[in-house]
Structure 1
């Protein structure tokens, strides 16, 4: 019968505070925030999600809902401005704040 090797027994950093724990902390700290670019029609009459985005520390990535484009922009404000149309307004809604 073969013996199972646990991840902790193969972790060379385990005696020094746990490599896995530090790696997970780094990933959590550096994770981008998810947002939607929402277009609103009229005064709270109707709305649609025009695009989804990831906000990194130094830029944002935006993908249109139809998949026709992928944008690399400086900020979420830039993303919102790109989706303003006549008789609509555009704004950013953060997924972690939607709940």
Structure 2
């Protein structure tokens, strides 16, 4: 195996970063990371549940995709995801945040 593949060439040309800059980048990513949520259907009164979609919020809105990937939605806010879940008796849709304490 040769060491001349594209990735190893890039790695050799990259100057080492300072730990301070690495910390700055990590803080920037943490501050701007999207919040992840799931749309969960509750069947009956806490009888069973199923995740039917995953989404994420950014400063400008939210995005959601069904778990099978067939449907994708651009939303003004995460709570609007519930509008796209079929309404049926004895089934209650919920937004559940993947990160505890995330309030949307």
* TM-score range normalised by the length of the shorter chain: 0.7 to 0.9
CA contact (8 A) 2:41 2:49 kept: yes
1:91 aligns with 2:89: no
Aligned counterparts of 1:76 and 1:6: Cα–Cα separation in 2:
40
Which 4+ runs in 1 deviate beyond 4 A? none
- Structure 2 stretches lacking a partner, 5+ long: 1-11
SS in 1 for 2:60: coil
Q: CA RMSD, aligned part only? A: 2.4
The aligned counterpart of 1:7 is: 16
- Do the aligned partners of residues 84 and 40 (structure 1) sit closer, same or farther apart at CA in structure 2, a change above 3 Å counting? farther
Aligned counterparts of 1:86 and 1:29: Cα–Cα separation in 2:
38
Aligned counterparts of 1:66 and 1:21: Cα–Cα separation in 2:
37
Aligned counterparts of 2:94 and 2:86: Cα–Cα separation in 1:
9
- Structure 1 stretches lacking a partner, 5+ long: none
The aligned counterpart of 2:5 is: none
Q: TM-score, normalised by structure 1?
A: 0.76
The aligned counterpart of 1:55 is: 57
C-alpha displacement at 1:40, in angstroms? 1.1
Aligned counterparts of 1:58 and 1:6: Cα–Cα separation in 2:
34
SS in 2 for 1:97: coil
The aligned counterpart of 1:41 is: 43
